[in-house]
Amino acid sequence: KAGVTQTPRYLIKTRGQQVTLSCSPISGHRSVSWYQQTPGQGLQFLFEYFSETQRNKGNFPGRFSGRQFSNSRSEMNVSTLELGDSALYLCASSEGQGKEKLFFGSGTQLSVL
Amino acid sequence: AQKVTQAQTEISVVEKEDVTLDCVYETRDTTYYLFWYKQPPSGELVFLIRRNSFDEQNEISGRYSWNFQKSTSSFNFTITASQVVDSAVYFCALSSFNAGNNRKLIWGLGTSLAVNP
């Protein structure tokens, strides 16, 4: 089975722009979670989607949004980028909602200039 | 409040040494899960182990072993006879319920392990 695939691997944007990151989960996995990883804050939970519905949300502003498609693929969007949004964004998939054995992708490294 | 503390930010050892990574957690839940993940330089986090709060048995998997002690709220991870390939950042995580009764993972800040030849 192919693992979790995230695209793009690297992204450079400027303040005020918006960005869309993509995640393809492991085949058969219906839950996709997104995490932001920074050196100072570590891993912080953004949101979890299951069967196209957001089931869980972290403490991030509304500029951060996501969605999940019928094939379980997920996208996250960040609007009006700020310098502090520079981070590694990790996507994880699991078989079902609340299944904490997560399988992670290699992440998208976002740099905001 | 739920919290995971990994007090060791960085550890450096020489190959074949044993090394223990500490993890201390806080939670008011009576049922919870604890995890260890490994993040190699490639970036993706790799699941190592999950332990539920009712199972305090220690576990050994090859060169890896885990010591779960509820009395001290600790879930420590030991690598025996470390190898260069063990070099990575290791994260401890706690699975707990949030206000919406949804389970979420709370992560420690990680311990960066460097195993030198």
Q: Which of A46, A99, A42 is nearest to A68 (CA)?
A: A46
Phi and psi, residue B6, nearest 5°: -115, 100
Measured at the CA of B50, the angle between CA B30 and CA B28, to 5 degrees, comes to 20
Q: Which of A29, A45, A6 is nearest to B102 (CA)?
A: A45
Measured at the CA of A51, the angle between CA A49 and CA A52, to 5 degrees, comes to 65
pLDDT for A73 beyond 60: yes
Indicate which of A21, A36, A95, A104 best probes the interface with B, i.e. most B CBs within 10 Å of its own CB: A104
Closest by Cβ to A42, choosing from B47, B98, B109: B109
Count chain A–chain B contacts defined by CB atoms under 8 A.
54
> What amino acid occupies position B79?
I
pLDDT for A18 beyond 80: yes
> Can you give the pLDDT at residue A97?
65
Residues 10-49 of A with CB under 8 A from B: 42-45, 48
Indicate which of B2, B90, B98, B105 best probes the interface with A, i.e. most A CBs within 10 Å of its own CB: B105
Q: Which of A106, A2, A113, A93 is nearest to A48 (CA)?
A: A93
State how far residue B36 is from chain A, nearest Cα, in angstroms: 10
> Can you give the pLDDT at residue A99?
60
Distance CA A12, CA A40 (A): 20
Asked whether the beta carbons of B97 and B29 are under 8 A apart, the reply is yes
- Residue with more model confidence, B15 or B102: B15
State how far residue A42 is from chain B, nearest Cα, in angstroms: 5
% of chain B with per-residue pLDDT over 90: 69
> Can you give the pLDDT at residue B99?
56
Q: Reply yes or no: is the peptide bond before residue A8 cis, omega within 30 of 0.
A: yes
pLDDT for A113 beyond 90: yes
Closest by Cβ to A101, choosing from B44, B47, B100: B47
> Can you give the pLDDT at residue B96?
75
Using CA atoms, how far residue B94 sits from A17, A29, A58, in Å, is 35, 22, 15
B70/A contact by beta carbon, under 8 A: no
Pairing of strands B33-39, B24-26: unpaired
